Structure 1
Amino acid sequence: MHKYREEAVSALHKLRGDKYDIEPELLEMEANIMTQSKEKFKLSYLRKPSVYKPLVILVILMAFKQLCGMGALTYYALEIFDSTNFSKLHPAMIIGGVNVVGTIFSAMIIDKAGRRILLITSGSILTLSSGALGVYYYLHDNHDMDLTWLSLVGIIGFFIGFSTGWGGIPWILLGELFPLKVRSAASALSVFVNWVSAFILTKEYSTLEGFAHKYGAMWCFSGISLLGVIFIAVVLPETKGKSLEEIEEYFEQSNKPLARLDNKVTNEQTPTSIQTT
């Protein structure tokens, strides 16, 4: 955008390797900037399927990301560890370590496994972990059974599940689902929904716990996580290896099934000018 082409060439060579032909990729980026950088956001863009479809998907995904219970389990972690007899194990260190390991693992495999499968796997782990915590609290409160191992598995499993998918991948999708001309506005709305959902959950967790008990709250989080898995499986396309043009074209073609992105070879969809060059 600022005409630093030589710096861009150097950066792409460092990223791709000296033997990689970066010219087609560079030309494609320049073409995107020329066609879209001069356009300012207009409300009329929201009528386009390539804008409102990914916006609705990401806003709902951001809500699921928080309403699955991550904020509550983080902010009330010490209380939860106290109630499960694990307060002496330094919960902050356990949670931090698990998040680091899960995030590194996700970063290592995301470009091989894909965003969609990681999100589905992550949500499935969240569903099972929250459900396990609910079972623990139910047996502890109603049958005086102290299965402390189950509570530890549930808590650690929850943070592993969150850090490997739902914690980071929605932020990646912010840069992959939206055309450049609407990315700033769409990202702002998505982030707003994310933190409003976090605020609501954190504020109302105690109310939920008082109404449904701890086991009911955990089962509620489990149900929300399950709904999130179904939502991702049905409507979220895989964006791995896809250009902005391919994703935009996919959402514009409303007759296609919403859960699948056309798997044409990228080179076949390369702009004619780039192929000629």
Structure 2
Amino acid sequence: MAMNRFGRRGALLFLAIPCIVAWLLIALGTNVNVLYTGRFLVGFCVGCYTIIVNVYIAEIAEDKIRGMLGFMFPILISSGVLYTYVVGAFLPWQYFTLANIIFPVALFVGMYFVPESPIYLLGKGKKKIAGKALQWFRGAVTFDNIENELQQMQHFVEDTAGKKVSFKDLLAPAVVKPTLISFGLLFFQQLSGVNVILFYTVDIFRSTGSDIDPSIATIIVGVVVVVSCLISTPFIDRMGRRILLVFSAIGMCISLAAMGIFFYLKERNNDVIPENLGWLPLASLMGYILSLNWGYGPIPWLMLGELIPTHVKGSASALVTTLNWFMCFLMIKTFEHLAMQLGMYGVYWFFSSFCFVGIFFAYFIVPETRGKTLEEIQAIFK
């Protein structure tokens, strides 16, 4: 993989180029095949980013703030969703697409001035450069300030380096367990309906028949997404991953069940909004978003970088992320069909039931990683 061959930083720099080209193809394309090509490239780049960014953050962060830094990724994703809702409501799609080019350009410029992951550099035998990179990340005045941490990283890399990854390595219990847990977290994230709700927010509000303008309601949801991420960030390294996942699943379960109740009562009332319940769809969605961003939204991506062993991180992370985006595609593609078969209320109760199961998965299966080094985390599975 590019991440293992060119480094985490190098891969991010490289991916910015096809991402810029992709947005240009979408904005300036003159036929549907060009649009398909551009859209495929954007999706490809985003899928790669989700792997590389979380691995990079996990490797450069201090153990005590790794969770907080890991939340930066979903915060920026949430900001991008809000940006889409706001700008997309006022600009034609061609101009909106051109405006998106600023983001891969900013990524390229920003990453150009940031060092490579010290763990990756140590794995390539570049201890001196790794020391300088770690010193930069920690803001250390002298090498002595980071010498002990660099030595710990060196031991960690020596334990996992030099192993040529084979299919048999991916089946080792110390790899299978964290990989399955990582996939399980993303599985319950997708089956909570997150991407369906974000993609179809305008249509969802339109279908409620509420007096609230769908575009305004969508922007309100986008604001709640960003604010909830910001509010929850300090708690990830105080309360721990597992307890936040449990409370997150409980909140999503209740919110989606309430949304299902609204659509059920609306259908039983001859498709007329039940009296005094016009507020319920927006309140339920805000409750869902708040709950999501306290746990099952950002934490699966954070733990993907924490749980999977370094020597198989590229291959295993790619496998998990590919399965995740495949599930995302299936959920979005089948949403309208599910709504016709189950009714809108049935779809939300379907999502709610998976959130309920996600409570027990988080409590009984997911290990707590708060405050642990990557070496200590991987020792859990040995």
TM bucket (normalised to shorter chain) is 0.7 to 0.9
List runs of 5+ in structure 1 lacking aligned partners. 253-277
> CA, structure 1 residues 169+192, in 2 after alignment: closer, same or farther (shift >3 Å)?
same
Q: Counterpart of 2:258?
A: 132
Q: Distance in 2 between matches of 1:137 and 1:216?
A: 9
Name the structure 2 match of 1:242: 372
2:331 equivalent to 1:201: yes
Would the alpha carbon gap of residues 136 and 35 (structure 1) be closer, same or farther in structure 2, given more than 3 Å must change? Answer: same
**Residues 136-164 of structure 1: CA deviation (Å, up to 9, x unaligned):** 11111113524112212111111112222
Letter in 2 for 1:81: F
Which consecutive segments of 4 or more residues in structure 1 shift more than 4 A? Answer: none
CA contact (8 A) 1:67 1:224 kept: yes
Highest relative contact order (Cα 8 Å, sep 6+), 1 or 2?
Answer: 1
CA distance in 2: counterparts of 1:230 and 1:96, whole angstroms: 29
Residue in 2 aligned with 1:82?
Answer: 206
Structure 1 residue 221 and structure 2 residue 341: aligned? no
Kept in 1, the 8 Å contact 2:202–2:215? The answer is: no
Where does the alignment leave 5 or more consecutive residues of structure 2 unmatched? 1-120
What is the root-mean-square deviation of aligned Cα atoms in Å? Answer: 2.0
How high is the TM-score relative to the length of structure 1?
0.84
Q: Of 295, 305, 308, which residue of structure 2 is paired with 1:175?
A: 305
Secondary structure (helix, strand or coil) at the match of 2:380 reads: helix
Distance in structure 2 (CA, Å) of the matches to 1:58 and 1:88: 35
Q: For 1:42-62, what per-residue CA distance to the aligned partner results, in whole angstroms no more than 9, with x for missing partners? A: 222233221101111111221
Query: Take 1:68 and 1:246, find their aligned partners in 2: how far apart are those partners?
Result: 31
Structure 1 residue 246 displacement after superposition: 2.1
Q: Check if 1:34 corresponds to 2:158.
A: yes
Further displaced range: 40-49 or 84-93: 84-93
- Count matched residues: 250
Kept in 2, the 8 Å contact 1:78–1:87? The answer is no
Residues 13, 74 of structure 1: alpha-carbon distance in 2 compared, 3 angstrom cutoff: closer
Contact 2:228-2:290 within 8 A present in 1 as well: yes
Q: Secondary structure at the match of 2:375?
A: helix
Q: Give the distance between the partners of 1:158 and 1:166, measured in 2 at CA.
A: 11
Structure 1 counterpart of 2:195: 71
Q: 2:133 matched to which residue of 1?
A: 8
Structure 1 residue 38, shift from structure 2 partner:
2.4
Identity %: 34
Residues 189 and 6 (structure 1 numbering): CA distance in 2 closer, same or farther, change over 3 Å?
closer
1:134 Cα deviation after fit:
0.5
What residue number does 1:117 align with? 243
TM-score where L is the length of structure 2: 0.62
Question: In structure 1, what is the Cα distance between the partners aligned to 2:199 and 2:283?
Answer: 19
Contact persistence 2:135–2:146 (CA under 8 A)? no
